[in-house]
């Protein structure tokens, strides 16, 4: 069940992490890596169980734990606008660096109206 959830999270986060210009390529790369991992898993488990019986459980458990730690390194995308170009992603977004509440404190409705007018 957790593998299925992680597979769906891959699609969700990849669609938010990549700018519009390369979103399809990024989603394809994420999909390819997920498929490669699922194809290699049986071979890794068979080869590791021949070396040490609990090795497959240790490797799968440690890789899941490392994935959980790596998730905390991803930028927060809640309330952040999706990037349209690679240049805007490289320049960074204030929403990705700050928490959403800090961004809301700095929000100026008059400046937003001036930009849209």
In the chain, domain spans = 2-116
pTM: 0.53
Burial 32-46 (b: 16+ CB within 10 A, else e): eebeeeeeeeeeeee
pLDDT by residue (tens digit) across 5-48?
777 777 777 777 788 888 888 888 878 988 898 899 899 889 98
**Residue-level pLDDT at 44:** 85
Taking the C-alpha atoms of residue 95 and residue 102, their distance in angstroms, rounded to an integer, is: 9
pLDDT at 106: 52
Q: What is the pLDDT of residue 20?
A: 81
Taking CA atoms, 41 is separated from 12, 56, 57, in Å, by: 23, 9, 12
């Amino acid at each position: 069940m957790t593998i299925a959830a992680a597979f769906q999270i891959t699609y969700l986060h990849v669609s938010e992490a990549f700018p519009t210009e390369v979103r399809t390529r990024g989603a394809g790369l994420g999909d390819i890596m997920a498929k490669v991992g699922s194809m290699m898993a049986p071979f890794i488990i068979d080869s590791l169980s021949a070396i040490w019986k609990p090795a497959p459980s240790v490797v799968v458990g440690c890789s899941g734990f490392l994935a959980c730690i790596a998730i905390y390194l991803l930028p927060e995308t809640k309330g952040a606008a999706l990037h349209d170009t690679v240049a805007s992603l490289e320049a960074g977004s204030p929403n990705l660096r700050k928490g959403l509440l800090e961004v809301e404190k700095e929000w100026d409705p008059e400046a937003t109206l001036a930009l849209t007018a």
